[in-house]
Amino acid sequence: MEACSIAAHSVNTAGEAQPYTDEEAEAHAREAGVDPRPRETISEIDERGAFIRQPNAFIRPFGDKEGDLKAEAGRYAIYWAIGCNWSNRPVIVRDLLGLQDVIKDRLVTHSGQTNKYGHGFGNQPGHKDPLTGAYFLSEFYKRADPEFTGRATTPTLVDIIEKKAVNNDYHRLTNYLEVQFRPFQSKDAPDLYPKKFRKEIDELNDWLFPHVNNGHYRMAFCQSPEAYDEAYEDFYDSLDKLEKRLGENRFLFGDYITDSDVRAYVTLVRWDVSYYHNVGPVKKPIRDYKNIWGYLRELNTVPAFHKNSNARTLALNGIPKDGGALFRGYNERILTKVDFDKLWADDGERRKLSRTPDELFLRHPEGETYEDYAGEISTTIWNSPSWADRNPKNGVLSVDASVNPLKGLL
Ligand SMILES: N[C@@H](CCC(=O)N[C@@H](CS)C(=O)NCC(=O)O)C(=O)O
Give yes or no for residue 319 CB within 6 A of ligand 1: no
Quick: pLDDT tens for 249-300: 999 999 999 999 999 999 999 999 999 999 999 999 999 999 999 999 999 9
pLDDT at 41: 80
Give yes or no for residue 171 CB within 6 A of ligand 1: no
The CA 373 to ligand 1 mean position distance, Å, reads 31
Q: Dihedrals φ, ψ of 45, to 5°?
A: -120, 135
312 CB-near residues (< 8 Å, 6+ apart):
338, 340
> Beta strand 76-80 with 104-107: parallel, antiparallel or unpaired?
parallel
The CA 254 to ligand 1 mean position distance, Å, reads 31
Instruction: Please give the model's pTM, rounded to 2 decimal places.
Output: 0.94
Residue 208 three-state SS = helix
Atom number in ligand 1 closest to CA 53:
20
pLDDT at 16: 46
Nearest of 93, 119, 92 to residue 29 by alpha carbon: 119
Out of 151, 171, 308, mutate this one to test ligand 1's pocket (max ligand atoms within 8 Å of CB): namely 151
Of 391 and 36, which is predicted with more confidence? 36
pLDDT at 319: 80
Note whether 263 and 207 are within 8 A (CB). Answer: no
Catalytic residue among 20, 76, 217, 289: 217
Whether the pLDDT of residue 214 is over 80: the answer is yes
Give yes or no for residue 103 CB within 6 A of ligand 1: no
What is the C-alpha to C-alpha distance for residues 405 and 375, in angstroms, rounded to an integer? 22
The CA 79 to ligand 1 mean position distance, Å, reads 11
Helices 290-299 + 225-248 axis angle, to 10: 70
DSSP string over 266-301? HHHHHHTTTGGGGSSS-SS-GGGSHHHHHHHHHHTT
Of 156 and 378, which is predicted with more confidence? 156
Second CATH level (architecture) for the domain 9-184: 3-Layer(aba) Sandwich (3.40)
13 — pLDDT class (breaks 50, 70, 90):
very low
Note whether 189 and 180 are within 8 A (CB). Answer: no
Give yes or no for residue 181 CB within 6 A of ligand 1: no
Note whether 204 and 262 are within 8 A (CB). Answer: no
pLDDT at 74: 97
What is the C-alpha to C-alpha distance for residues 168 and 276, in angstroms, rounded to an integer? 26
Residue 49: count other Cβ atoms within 10 Å of its Cβ.
14
Give yes or no for residue 274 CB within 6 A of ligand 1: no
For ligand 1, atom 5, name the residue with the nearest CA. 153
Tell me what percent of the residues of the chain surpass a pLDDT of 90.
80
Of 188 and 387, which is predicted with more confidence? 188
pLDDT at 54: 81
Residue 39 three-state SS = coil
Give yes or no for residue 391 CB within 6 A of ligand 1: no
What is the C-alpha to C-alpha distance for residues 182 and 189, in angstroms, rounded to an integer? 9
pLDDT at 53: 78
Q: Is 20 considered catalytic here?
A: no
Range with the poorest average pLDDT among 107-116, 195-204, 325-334, 389-398: 389-398
Quick: pLDDT tens for 130-170: 999 999 999 999 999 999 989 999 999 999 999 999 999 99
Give yes or no for residue 86 CB within 6 A of ligand 1: yes
- Long-range CB contacts (within 8 A, 24+) of 309-313: 309/85, 309/88, 309/92, 309/265, 309/266, 309/269, 309/270, 310/269, 310/340, 310/344, 311/269, 311/272, 311/273, 311/340, 311/343, 311/344, 312/338, 312/340, 313/82
14 — pLDDT class (breaks 50, 70, 90):
very low
pLDDT at 324: 65
Query: Measured at the alpha carbon of residue 187, what is the angle toward residues 66 and 361, in degrees to the nearest 5?
Result: 100
Name the residue ranges covered by the structural domains of the chain.
Answer: 9-184, 195-363+380-394
Nearest of 293, 315, 194 to residue 246 by alpha carbon: 293
What is the C-alpha to C-alpha distance for residues 76 and 111, in angstroms, rounded to an integer? 23
Average pLDDT value for the chain? 92
pLDDT at 39: 87
379 — pLDDT class (breaks 50, 70, 90):
confident
Q: Is 84 considered catalytic here?
A: yes
Quick: pLDDT tens for 25-72: 999 999 999 999 988 888 888 889 988 878 888 999 999 899 999 999
Which CATH topology does 195-363+380-394 take? Glutathione S-transferase Yfyf (Class Pi); Chain A, domain 2 (1.20.1050)
The CA 381 to ligand 1 mean position distance, Å, reads 19
Cis peptide before 155 (omega within 30 of 0): yes
For ligand 1, atom 19, name the residue with the nearest CA. 56
pLDDT at 130: 95
The CA 311 to ligand 1 mean position distance, Å, reads 21
The one-character DSSP state at 2 is -
Give yes or no for residue 53 CB within 6 A of ligand 1: yes
Whether the pLDDT of residue 15 is over 50: the answer is no
The CA 341 to ligand 1 mean position distance, Å, reads 30
